[in-house]
Structure 1
């Protein structure tokens, strides 16, 4: 049986120098905000203090973020961006669930310093979010935005003929699995690797939420 050849992927344009500088500044501000939240809590932290800690003017802070809680969004979305990039690099039509499980495990269990730091920030911020509705709203918004970015990637992985509703459900399930796993892990002192880790919990949640789906 003949098959049509796969079309080569269109290379994604690299961010410009201006975009990279903007992202770096946003991350500096996000880290400063997270440090101050850990030291003084969100209620004891001001936008002025965050700007000072990050070494930027207050007007620069408000150019990028609407509020002090909003400033930590780049840290909360960092792992999701890595996960999305890994999924986007998979071969179109190669399947949804298998790629989701592989990406979840790889991103959350990579024992490099950057990944470990990302998880440490996330744990601290999620603990603070339990006591701060505005910070919790940022976390939910980050997850919603991540789910919206995920849908076209999963559609490509599913290939032609896949049920759009099931693809959308898979995206919602994957987002919920990671969110739930990170929230549960943050409430404990479990390590970042091994039993009770985000990778183990997320894989378990994903299997439970996608049970019965016909997607491969």
Structure 2
């Protein structure tokens, strides 16, 4: 009887390592998009910048524009966590004034300028704009579930659905305003963080006022 053979070759990647690779690809893609434009950038160049093959790039992402998605998703994930931690009676504009955003900031230190540059590119690059809008579109029902849970309402109730749509639009508009008009890649990190927080606080305060 022949003994079964053990697995040969490289051990499978952990989910944590896969997430790290996706983020490395995203950062490299943005750097290339900024320096030479989206059209001139290839999957091979993105892979070379990370030290992987273009085949690996396409294994993780269906297109070069979609390579940036992890940088957008990180902000959405943080926002959902803040919604779930939002205390009863706490003003909406204080949503991001929480411990989880104090340690690493609203955008993880080294990615702050990268994300700012990426959002600025969405203004002129239709492919990146589509990814940005799609990320927010897919985030909206997640926001609605978090708001419904907080209010003790069904996930498909109309009230949290409408509130999620308003919140989602407010968040997107505030980040775009910051990136397009306020963010400065050369700014001191502490100053940039303070400017982003101030922009979000003001935008959420306006949203909390509702339509009058």
TM-score bin (small chain): 0.7 to 0.9
Specify the SS of the correspondent of 2:26: helix
Note if 1:103 corresponds to 2:95: yes
1:52-84 superposed Cα distances (whole Å, 9 cap, x missing partner) = 111111111111111111000101121111121
1:10-51 superposed Cα distances (whole Å, 9 cap, x missing partner) = xxxxxxx72212111111111110111122121221111001
Specify the SS of the correspondent of 1:188: helix
Measure, in 2, the Cα distance between the counterparts of 1:18 and 1:193. Answer: 32
- 1:109-148 to structure 2, matched below 5 A, reads 110=102, 112=104, 115-148=108-141
Q: CA RMSD in A?
A: 2.8
- 1:48-197 to structure 2, matched below 5 A, reads 48-89=44-85, 95=88, 98=90, 100-106=92-98, 110=102, 112=104, 115-160=108-153, 164-190=157-183, 191-194=191-194, 197=195
Aligned residues: 191
> How far did residue 207 of structure 1 move?
2.5
Larger radius of gyration: 2
Gaps of 5+ in 2: 1-12, 184-190
> How far did residue 206 of structure 1 move?
2.1
Task: Tell me if structure 1 keeps the 8 A contact 2:93–2:202.
Answer: no
Task: Tell me if structure 1 keeps the 8 A contact 2:66–2:131.
Answer: yes
| Structure ranking higher on relative contact order (CA contacts 8 Å, 6+ apart) | 1
1:134-157 superposed Cα distances (whole Å, 9 cap, x missing partner) = 110000011112212222111110
Gaps of 5+ in 1: 1-16
Distance 1:160 1:183, change over 3 A: closer
Specify the SS of the correspondent of 1:183: helix
Give the structure-1-normalised TM-score: 0.76
> How far did residue 162 of structure 1 move?
10
> How far did residue 169 of structure 1 move?
1.6
